[in-house]
């Protein structure tokens, strides 16, 4: 105790602090989420997410070059299609010649070592903007959604994706996808489940980017409720039992307690998804001069690592060298 013990001795200079501190995560821990457009030579900056754009595949390849050079491990692809291609089931999502299928082939061709993950959901492909086809009552039809999700995952695996990532929060989605993949001999395709994904108010900028806001209602009937922690944790438990390779907590920063609880109850790798609203929040604050962007990014990222994340899905990943190198 004081005065014999003085804790400030342990942080008296930068060299000592550096020796004791948990290091910042290296670039290999990061996956960069990217938004992919049909066509060519298209680049649409996303107003709500400075530093992020919707890109046609040719432009994505250009932007991936420095990301790959910086050592970032992977990319998570989200597709956008024109309204004319949207339908009740979101069937464009499993078109073998679709945007994401093309993107996967091109990205793997140019960057064979980059871990390519494709998001498996239909909200950007359905006319109504929900994460699966609807019942007559207007609810998402769980089991019908699973059939669609399995077809999508299969077509991504066939295009060469290393990993598929179902994000629609349907019961049994992991089982449906895993068994479809295995039946088609894609037993090496990784499955990262958005296992504990909350109905969050922090997805706003993403929905602007993806133009995927539901035309009616919300996603509370399928995404987890932040008021019910136990059920939210069971979501991950079930996905593990159904054969997920990697679990996820999303959003990450608002749910660090969930992340650290899950860390104690599973030995699966866990991904933390640092979502769009968390990204834009720091940008907005920095723009107003209320905080230093790099410091806020490093501090919040360290929190996710401490919380138990093995993998960081983060929009900061395409700026790794600027934000994480001191
Ligand atoms: C779609 C999906 C969403 C996100 C990832 N996949 C939005 C949603 O569920 O409404 C959010 C990502 C982010 O906000 O960064 N199923
Ligand atoms: Zn969805």
pLDDT in tens, 164-219: 999 999 999 999 999 999 999 999 999 999 999 999 999 999 999 998 888 888 99
In this structure, are residues 116 and 107 in contact, taking their beta carbons and an 8 Å threshold? yes
| Helical packing angle, 142-159 and 173-183, nearest 10° | 40
Whether 325 is catalytic is no
How far apart, in whole angstroms, are the C-alpha atoms of residue 94 and residue 45?
Answer: 26
Helix (H) or strand (E) holding 63: helix 57-70
CA 249 / ligand 2 centre spacing (Å): 15
Q: Which residues of the chain have pLDDT under 70?
A: none
How far apart, in whole angstroms, are the C-alpha atoms of residue 197 and residue 90?
Answer: 21
Catalytic residue among 110, 250, 294, 325: 250
Whether 211 is catalytic is no
How far apart, in whole angstroms, are the C-alpha atoms of residue 208 and residue 160?
Answer: 28
CA 48 / ligand 1 centre spacing (Å): 14
Provide the 3-class DSSP secondary structure of residue 272: strand
Provide the 3-class DSSP secondary structure of residue 30: strand
Beta strand ranges found along the chain (DSSP E): 30-37, 43-45, 53-56, 74-79, 115-120, 163-166, 190-191, 196-197, 247-250, 270-274, 311-314
CA angle in degrees (0–180, nearest 5) for 183-188-190: 100
At 46 the pLDDT is: 98
Q: Mind listing the domains of the chain with CATH numbers?
A: 24-247 (3.20.20.70)
> Does the C-beta of 275 come closer than 6 Å to ligand 1?
yes
In the structure, ligand 2 is a single-atom ion and the residues with CB under 5 Å from it are 121, 123, 131, 168
Rg value, the chain, Cα: 20
pLDDT in tens, 244-261: 999 999 999 999 999 999
At 212 the pLDDT is: 82
At 211 the pLDDT is: 87
> Does the C-beta of 121 come closer than 6 Å to ligand 1?
yes
CA 158 / ligand 1 centre spacing (Å): 24
């Amino acid at each position: 105790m004081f005065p014999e013990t003085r804790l400030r001795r342990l942080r008296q200079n930068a060299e000592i602090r550096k020796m004791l501190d948990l290091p910042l995560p290296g670039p290999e821990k990061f996956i960069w989420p990217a938004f992919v457009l049909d066509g060519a030579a298209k680049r649409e900056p996303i107003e709500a997410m400075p530093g992020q754009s919707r890109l046609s595949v040719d432009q994505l390849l250009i932007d991936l070059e420095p990301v790959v050079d910086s050592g970032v491990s992977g990319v998570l692809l989200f597709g956008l299609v024109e309204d004319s291609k949207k339908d009740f089931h979101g069937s464009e999502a499993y078109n073998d010649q679709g945007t994401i299928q093309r993107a996967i082939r091109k990205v793997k061709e140019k960057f064979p070592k980059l871990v390519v993950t494709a998001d498996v959901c239909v909200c950007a492909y359905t006319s109504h903007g929900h994460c699966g086809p609807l019942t007559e009552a207007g609810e998402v039809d769980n089991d019908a959604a699973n059939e669609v999700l399995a077809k999508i995952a299969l077509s991504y695996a066939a295009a060469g994706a290393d990993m598929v990532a179902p994000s629609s929060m349907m019961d049994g989605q992991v089982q449906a996808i895993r068994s479809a993949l295995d039946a088609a001999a894609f037993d090496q395709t990784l499955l990262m489940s958005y296992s504990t994904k909350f109905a969050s108010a922090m997805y706003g900028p993403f929905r602007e980017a993806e133009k995927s806001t539901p035309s009616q209602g919300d996603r509370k009937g399928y995404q987890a409720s932040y008021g019910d922690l136990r059920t939210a944790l069971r979501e991950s438990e079930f996905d593990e039992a159904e054969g997920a390779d990697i679990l996820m907590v999303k959003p990450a920063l608002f749910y660090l307690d969930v992340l650290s609880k899950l860390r104690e109850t599973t030995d699966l790798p866990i991904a933390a998804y640092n979502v769009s609203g968390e990204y834009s929040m720091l940008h907005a604050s920095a723009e107003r001069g209320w905080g230093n962007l790099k410091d806020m990014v490093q501090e919040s990222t360290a929190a996710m690592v401490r919380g138990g994340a093995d993998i960081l899905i983060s929009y900061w990943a395409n700026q790794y060298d600027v934000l994480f190198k001191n």
